[in-house]
Amino acid sequence: MAASTPDFRPADDSAAPAAKESSSLNFFTTKLDFFVHAPSLDDLCGIYNPVVALLETGVHNGLWWLDVTAASDEDIETLARSFGLHPLTVEDITQRETREKIELFESYYFLSLRPPSSRKTDDGVCIVSHNLYAVVFPEGVLSFNFGTSLHADHVRNRIKEHRSHLALTSDWICYAIIDAIVDGFAPFIARVETGVDLMEDHIAVTRPDEIGLALQQIYKWRKEVIQIRQLLHDKTDVIRCFARHCDALAATSTQVALYLSDIRDHVLTMMANLEQAEQMLSRSQSKYLSQLHFDSGRMRNEIATALSRLTVVASTIVPMQFITGLFGMNVMVPGKSPGGLAWWYGIIGVILVLIVLFLLVAKRMRLFDR
């Protein structure tokens, strides 16, 4: 079978990210001091021959972990036949089941977890991702990852750094995967807390015309908080089931149960931080709405004052227009006779008296004081 040349590569792959991105399978065994990377199952069998016996018999001399990235349906079917996976497990992996859970089967337990991943949209940052699936046998782990995630890389680096003093088991690898996924929420929560703190500081200096934009930003932050809280809340049930499973096994797995308490503490701390952020957002929203209500009331008062003044001006102009319009018609104009200008002064006097009268009424009604 013609294929690109596979290679052995140590656990620290930072020196060659291009080769790492082209790999789709990563194999670890306690019999080797490094991880084996290959683009396909055939290449992996060609690089490390004991994998052939593992796929044929399901038995390997030592703890093993096979991590498959972006597996095809054919690869999933092949691995399912090799390791005797239940049809329900195969269906969940093939159909990309989104529900997070742990299911116990006769010879293994099945883990489904959703790691955090961000995607920018027109409304802001939306937290979406593909689930990570792990089939945990007593002697090894088979994991599937269909998204761009570095959680498996973090676990491999952790194994390399602490391998000398770790009692590696398949349950410990499962714990490390869960721990890496939970820790992956920290950057998202830190970003939310920073944004909420900045918004809280800007309340006092926000201009009235910027309140609408601030409320839109609050809506985006609250939406992201709800998404993160939902993902973390779903993981608490998975961690609880995993802890019960470890408590029911031997002492080595019981040691893993001690690590799970640390994960639960992280989850509770993150949930508390999100709760605090939600309270701050709610308080900020109330302040902005109060400020918006105050500004709207003040604007209504200013409009009412302007309209009342315009009413006074209009009330003084209407009589003048009536008088001038009346005598502007084709009628005998008073004072046109040689009797003098008494009529003219009389008309002007009436107009001035009406203006003064309306101004006194407006002042008495305090229309100019509003």
Domain chopping of the chain, boundaries: 24-292
Apex 195 CA angle, 189 and 196, nearest 5 = 90
- pLDDT, tens digit, 9 for 90 and up, residues 125-184: 555 567 899 999 989 999 998 876 788 888 888 888 877 777 788 888 988 999 998 888
Q: What is the mean pLDDT of the chain?
A: 79
CA 227 to the chain's CA centroid: 6
pLDDT for res 65? 93
The answer, yes or no, to whether residue 349 has pLDDT greater than 50, is yes
Q: What letter represents residue 33's amino acid?
A: D
Task: Tell me the mean pLDDT in the region 277-289.
Answer: 85
- Reply yes or no on whether the pLDDT at 5 is more than 60: no
CA-CA distance, 177 to 9, in Å (whole number)? Answer: 21
Asked if 141 and 159 count as a contact pair (C-beta separation under 8 A), the reply is: no
* pLDDT (0 to 100) of residue 10: 38
Q: Return the structure tokens found at 263.
A: 């994960």
Neighbours of 129 (CB within 10 A): 20
Per-position DSSP letters for 54-105, written without gaps between them:
HHHHS--SS-EEEEEES--HHHHHHHHHHHT--HHHHHHHHTT--S-EEEE-
Three-class SS of residue 154? helix
pLDDT in tens, 314-326: 777 777 777 777 6
Q: What gap in Å lies between CA 370 and CA 361, rounded to an integer?
A: 15
Q: Taking Cα atoms as reference points, which of 152, 134, 226 lies closest to residue 189? A: 226
Residue of higher predicted confidence among 134 and 119: 134
Give the pLDDT confidence score for residue 255 in this predicted structure. Answer: 65
pLDDT reported for residue 368: 59
First to last CA, the chain: 90
Which of 3-17, 220-234, 327-341 holds the top average pLDDT?
Answer: 220-234
Q: Is the pLDDT of residue 19 over 50?
A: no
Q: Answer for the pair 68, 75: CB distance below 8 angstroms, yes or no.
A: yes
Name the H helices within the chain: 17-22, 41-47, 50-57, 73-83, 87-94, 151-162, 170-183, 186-201, 211-247, 251-327, 342-364
User: What is the structure's pLDDT at 61?
Assistant: 85
Report the candidate in 275, 292, 352, 367 with the shortest Cα–Cα distance to residue 320: 352
pLDDT at 63 over 50: yes
Q: How confident is the model at residue 24 (pLDDT cuts 50, 70, 90)?
A: confident
**Highest mean pLDDT of the ranges 3-7, 104-108, 207-211:** 104-108
Q: Is 70 exceeded by the pLDDT of residue 267? A: yes
Cβ–Cβ under 8 Å, residues 29 and 3 = no
Residues of the chain above pLDDT 90, percent: 10
pLDDT of residue 88: 93
Does the reported pTM lie above 0.75? no
**What is the rounded distance in angstroms from the CA atom of residue 142 to the CA atom of residue 155?**
14
CATH of domain 24-292: 3.30.460.20
Q: How far apart are CA 10 and CA 138, in angstroms?
A: 25
89 contacts 80 by C-beta, under 8 angstroms:
yes
**Residue 15 or residue 364, greater confidence:** 364
User: Quick one: pLDDT at residue 20?
Assistant: 38
Residue 369 has pLDDT above 70, yes or no: no
Residue 334 makes CB contacts below 8 A (sequence gap 6+) with 327, 343, 344, 346, 347
**pLDDT exceeds 90 at position 356:** no
Residue 291 scores a pLDDT above 70: yes
